[in-house]
Amino acid sequence: MAEFFDREHYIPVRAADLVEFLCTVSDSGGHALSPDEQVAFRRFARSVAGHIHITYLGELRRLKEAYAAFDPDADPKPLHPPEGEERAAALDRLFETFVHLMGRANYRRLSRDEMEQVMQGASDWGVDLDVAWDAYDKVEVFYRGKGTGKRTKRHRLLWWRKRLKSVPTFARVAVMFKQRPHKRLGDEADTRSVFLKLFKDIPQMDIEMLLPGGRILMPKVERWKLGGSVASTVGYVGWKLSTLPLLSLIHGLATGALWALYAPLALVAGYGYRTWYDFQVSRQTYTLQLTQSLYYQNLDNNGGVMFRLLDEAEEQEIREVLLAYFYLWRHAGDRGWTPAELDDYIELDLEKRLNVAIDFEIGDALRKLEAAGIMDTLGDRYRAVPLDQAQDRLDHHWEQYARAGDELVPTG
């Protein structure tokens, strides 16, 4: 079983498209499903989707309850929101639940050390920010999908010319944080709520843009220019003063005869102000550009993020179950396959026929098949039950749920 450290578990194919592909496209040996098999497999796929969806309805209900007391957009608000130690415990559970959800949706968690390493410097389309980590009680950042985006940049000298440059990006970035009182956030900051943000196509070096309370740092070149001018002027004035006798120096300061020294002092003051002013203008310009850019890169906020991520996790599980069952059913035969054989076959076939390179999460897929009762275990090998039997077992789950309703949480 191959392990790919440069691939992700995420399967970038819609479940509906995947079913169509498995039903209608011939495999590597030129074999395709018969019309009757296509009808049966499509029905099976709908049952799998419904079976997993029922499971996620329970997840959704629990998440809504956990987030209700912390949702800044909640309407209506809870009648009796938790307070004190109860609220702190509820906050911990909410973050734990969210971390678990992000794993199921195949997002990767960024630790603080990883974030600080990624955030060093700034891309050509961002600025360097100092993140006030002590402005948060809790903060979590996740990403899915590393890629390369294209950005337009003007030539340094021939400014009227534009050119395309490649920039490393995260396809999706999710941020969850709770603020605490802090001077960076201002007096009006909401420190009781938990905020959720979901973005797309964010340059990796500029991920700190997504956290509030960041302070824009003056570029090193500007700091060198300002510091160099101040140091050289102070050095010049000091040298001039050191060449004068003490009595002449006192007399010159008293009568204003050392007016020649005022010119470099005024020069450095003016140059320093100009450098500071240019930086302030650049900061305001950047803030406007950031607002305009994130307007189009923002996918969802707060409660909407949870709904979207639950939907992504549900779709991912459907794809995993369908792929694992289909390849066991069509290719493993009566002898069955080991997890490594199934994993390698799925990865190689998808890469060859769909140009999709993934690291298939075989362990999770096999657990779902076993829990649903549509796979047999033969020692260290696995074999799919016949399609008609698999359909009967899924129908049985539906009947149990219809009788028990919310009291039954389907397996899987």
Closest CA to 192 of 339, 290, 90, 322: 90
Mean pLDDT of 45-51: 93
Q: Provide the percentage of residues in the chain whose pLDDT is more than 70.
A: 71
pTM over the 0.85 mark: no
pLDDT at 412 over 70: no
pLDDT at 230 over 60: no
Closest CA to 173 of 206, 149, 125: 206
The span from the CA of 106 to the CA of 118, in Å, is: 20
Helix/strand/coil for 255: helix
Amino acid letter, 83: E
Residue predicted with more confidence, 22 or 147: 22
Tokens for 60?
Answer: 């959704």
Closest CA to 331 of 28, 38, 49: 28
Give me the pLDDT at residue 157, please.
62
pLDDT digits (tens, 9 = 90+) for 272-323: 666 666 656 666 666 666 666 677 889 999 999 988 999 999 999 999 999 9
SS (H, E, C) 161-183: CEEEEEEEEEEEEEEEEEECCCC
Give me the pLDDT at residue 408, please.
47
pLDDT digits (tens, 9 = 90+) for 50-83: 988 888 888 888 888 899 999 999 888 888 889 9
Give me the pLDDT at residue 195, please.
96
Tokens for 275?
Answer: 């450098």
CA 184 vs CA 93, 121, 215, 217: distances in Å: 27, 21, 8, 14
Mean pLDDT of 340-369: 91
Mean pLDDT of 328-342: 92
Give me the pLDDT at residue 258, please.
47
Tokens for 400?
Answer: 């149990």
Give me the pLDDT at residue 128, please.
65
Range in 41-45, 203-207, 359-363 the model is least confident about: 203-207
The span from the CA of 220 to the CA of 225, in Å, is: 9
Q: How sure is the predictor about 180, in pLDDT bands with cuts at 50, 70 and 90?
A: very high
276-286 per-residue burial string, b: 16 or more CB within 10 A, e: under 16: eeebeeeeeeb
Give me the pLDDT at residue 321, please.
94
The span from the CA of 64 to the CA of 319, in Å, is: 25
Mean pLDDT of 242-256: 52
The span from the CA of 211 to the CA of 267, in Å, is: 39
Mean pLDDT of 314-336: 93
